[in-house]
Amino acid sequence: MTQPDHIWQQIEELTHHASRCVTLIAPFIKKPIFEAVVTLVPASVERIHCVTRWIPAEVAAGVSDPEIIELTASDERVHVSLCPALHAKIYIADDRCLVGSANLTGKATGRVPYANFELLVETATAHPEVQRVLGQVRAAATDATPHLAELVRKQAEFLQADESTPSIEREGLPTPRWYPATRRPENLYAFYSGQGTFASAVETGILRDLALLNIPVGLGEAEFNAAVRTRLHGMPELQKLQTGESLSNVELERAIAKHAGVNNNLARRRTENIAAWLQHFDRYYTEVGVWELRRGHELI
């Protein structure tokens, strides 16, 4: 019968015989397992490149640790990149690699009780499919930073503390009901990318919005804006806009009050916020008075 830590033994054997470079690619990486792998790599190896993804709900669920970034300070060989669309698991040492289902977690590698049933198969690094995925990863990956690690951890802590957030499952993360809290949506990407400093109350609102949006860290501004637009378009109160119709502020306030069970003042504030977000992240404008959201640009 296969040993519970069979996957770990495969990774151990692969990395132990590396001579030039080790690459570790997995969406879920826990810090203790990552530290253990780095320890296995011979001192002669000049570079240890890790590619992963940090999504707030996944970090909150405990399947991934952004704190792996700390190893870049203690071992100059270690470099961490982020690839938000990553799902592949590939472990490379020079010309050899393992591909399969196992993440760098305790349950996947068999280093904790009740291990997962996982698979890693050895193949050549030069295999066409391996090279295809490596090319995709290289094109999409961005450098991880301590700021991004701290940002995603704070969002995860918010989700863990928020009783209204649904339980998180590994592969079909639920989307909680969300209304924008930030009054100035242009602040969102500035905070996300570490380019702005904000008052505590403003930062709390931005952090809440980012956590509930559940956007991966490490996106460029265009990708970030597209992700926010997708969430806005998914709001049930805005479905009329998706069919090309206009939507008045009165209609939107009533819909929010009904769906969210809030008073008129809060519904009005949420309506104003949504309008500001649609103007910033999409092609909508509002008219004066009893206004309507319309697609396009306002004529001046």
Q: How confident is the model at residue 291 (pLDDT cuts 50, 70, 90)?
A: low
Query: Residue 94: which CATH number?
Result: 3.30.870.10
Domain end marker among 112, 144, 176: 144
pLDDT at 137: 97
Q: How confident is the model at residue 168 (pLDDT cuts 50, 70, 90)?
A: very low
Task: Output the CA–CA distances (angstroms, integers) from residue 206 to 17, 154, 192, 265, in the order listed.
Answer: 46, 11, 9, 21
247 within some domain: yes
215 within some domain: no
Q: Which residues form the domain of 105?
A: 6-144
For residue 3, pLDDT over 50 is answered with yes
Q: Tell me the whole-structure pTM to 2 decimals.
A: 0.86
189 within some domain: no
Longest pairwise C-alpha distance within the chain:
75
Q: Tell me if 252 sits within 8 A of 260, measured CB to CB.
A: no
218 within some domain: no
- Give the C-alpha separation, 46 to 19, whole Å: 8
**For 54-109, what is each residue's pLDDT tens digit?**
999 999 999 999 999 999 999 999 999 999 999 999 999 999 999 999 999 999 99
Phi/psi of residue 276, nearest 5 degrees:
-65, -40
Q: How many domains does the chain have?
A: 2
Sign of CA dihedral 175, 259, 165, 284: positive
Q: For the chain, what is the mean pLDDT?
A: 90
174 within some domain: no
Partners of 123 in the β-ladder = 97
Mean pLDDT along residues 262-290:
86
Q: How confident is the model at residue 290 (pLDDT cuts 50, 70, 90)?
A: low
Domain end marker among 124, 144, 164: 144
For residue 217, pLDDT over 80 is answered with yes
For residue 19, pLDDT over 80 is answered with yes
pLDDT at 177: 77
Give which of 66, 84, 101, 194 is closest to 139, Cα–Cα. 84
85 within some domain: yes
Does 10 lie in the same domain as 140?
yes
**Of 46-50, 247-251, 273-277, the least confident:** 247-251
pLDDT at 101: 97
Task: Output the CA–CA distances (angstroms, integers) from residue 164 to 159, 160, 161, 213, 233, in the order listed.
Answer: 9, 10, 9, 14, 21
Mean pLDDT along residues 136-146:
96
294 within some domain: yes
Q: How confident is the model at residue 258 (pLDDT cuts 50, 70, 90)?
A: confident
SS3 label, residue 90: strand
For residue 176, pLDDT over 80 is answered with no
Partners of 285 in the β-ladder = 294
Does 139 lie in the same domain as 17?
yes
For residue 169, pLDDT over 60 is answered with no
Angle between helices 6-16 and 31-40 (to 10 degrees): 40
18 within some domain: yes
Q: How confident is the model at residue 165 (pLDDT cuts 50, 70, 90)?
A: low
Domain end marker among 96, 129, 144: 144
pLDDT at 66: 98
